[in-house]
Structure 1
């Protein structure tokens, strides 16, 4: 399964298990935990501060607004569907975050190996590099073919976006599928209709 850091960033808004919404980036400690678990390998020793946390939250807002646009006309995530920033503003924020780190592609082609491309940066600030890398990942994701597989989970109380892995996938996780089937069964038992 392909890893998309931008999708992981969008998933820092999630249901809390009690019918509410949890935010993994609500605190500096939460942002530090997230970057250590989901950031680039070089982010392992980073400790977030409030400015970096706010940069991540702002980038996430832009990504979630653009994800809502990508899944349209299907409904956006209910976590923030009522307060999404306009697509033009989200695009501008995403592009500005990516531009914070000027990079140049560099070719590495060993005599007995396969050529690879790496990005060379002159940016010293690891926080800027991480936010820019997440923004570049979002740009790559949204401009690539995988965007057509992006979905908003429709399970009760779920607020995540996910990349559809196979043709019949309807929910982000099996537990969401179980919750959706249980809700549908409950509606049927009460005579409220449904599928």
Structure 2
């Protein structure tokens, strides 16, 4: 199960040395966008500017704020909970970003093969605006779907990721996080 918006908010993650931001510079955004070019409807040669990176990071904070609201009353991600914009501001930014580069369906059909439905820009927009619009739309799709009820924050030590719970007993985003959480609990219990 792949969710573009989860991959987007997961560009902030943690390891033993602390927080890692995949989008910390324009090259990072360029590499991430190229890795997701097909999902984002981008040319594989996409290149980010510092301005587009800053706007994309601002969108990521807004999406993370909406995710924090979606997991409530559970805790938000520890990565940036103190830095998130307010709910209304985040919602307005995500909606405005999606509207900045609207898409429309387009049918391609050569008369012989089966018709194929594609999504194309409805109005002219630069690649950076299309990238952010697709990311905003992906967040909207997840938050408006039944999967929103399954959205969780991983509570393993050092983890700052959001994930979709795939079975009722799932508590962590990955097996590695589950192992780390169990080891930390064992250490706390036997430290005394």
Shift of 1:41: 5.5
Long gaps (5+) in structure 1? none
Equivalent residue, structure 1, for 2:77: 77
Residues in 1 aligned to 2:31 and 2:183: alpha-carbon distance in whole angstroms: 33
Matched position secondary structure for 2:44: helix
Equivalent residue, structure 1, for 2:35: 37
Residues in 1 aligned to 2:142 and 2:113: alpha-carbon distance in whole angstroms: 28
Shift of 1:123: 2.2
Structure 1 contact 31–48 (Cα < 8 Å) conserved: yes
Residues in 2 aligned to 1:164 and 1:113: alpha-carbon distance in whole angstroms: 39
Structure 1 contact 155–180 (Cα < 8 Å) conserved: yes
> 1:184-195 counterparts in 2 under 5 A?
184-191=185-192
Alpha carbon RMSD of aligned pairs, Å?
A: 2.0
Equivalent residue, structure 1, for 2:162: 161
> 1:134-149 counterparts in 2 under 5 A?
134-149=135-150
- Listed one character per residue, the Cα deviations across residues 93-136 of structure 1 (whole Å, up to 9, x for unaligned) are 00111011132234567878776543332324121111111111
TM-score, L = length of structure 1: 0.88
Residues in 2 aligned to 1:123 and 1:55: alpha-carbon distance in whole angstroms: 19
Residues in 2 aligned to 1:160 and 1:43: alpha-carbon distance in whole angstroms: 28
Matched position secondary structure for 1:74: coil
Structure 1 contact 43–130 (Cα < 8 Å) conserved: no
- Listed one character per residue, the Cα deviations across residues 56-108 of structure 1 (whole Å, up to 9, x for unaligned) are 10110000000000000000001111222111000000011101113223456
Find out whether 1:118 has 2:127 as its counterpart.
Answer: no
Shift of 1:46: 0.8
Q: Alignment length, in residue pairs?
A: 189
Residues in 1 aligned to 2:84 and 2:104: alpha-carbon distance in whole angstroms: 33
Structure 1 contact 155–177 (Cα < 8 Å) conserved: yes
Long gaps (5+) in structure 2? none
Structure 1 contact 65–84 (Cα < 8 Å) conserved: yes
Equivalent residue, structure 1, for 2:66: 66
Equivalent residue, structure 1, for 2:151: 150
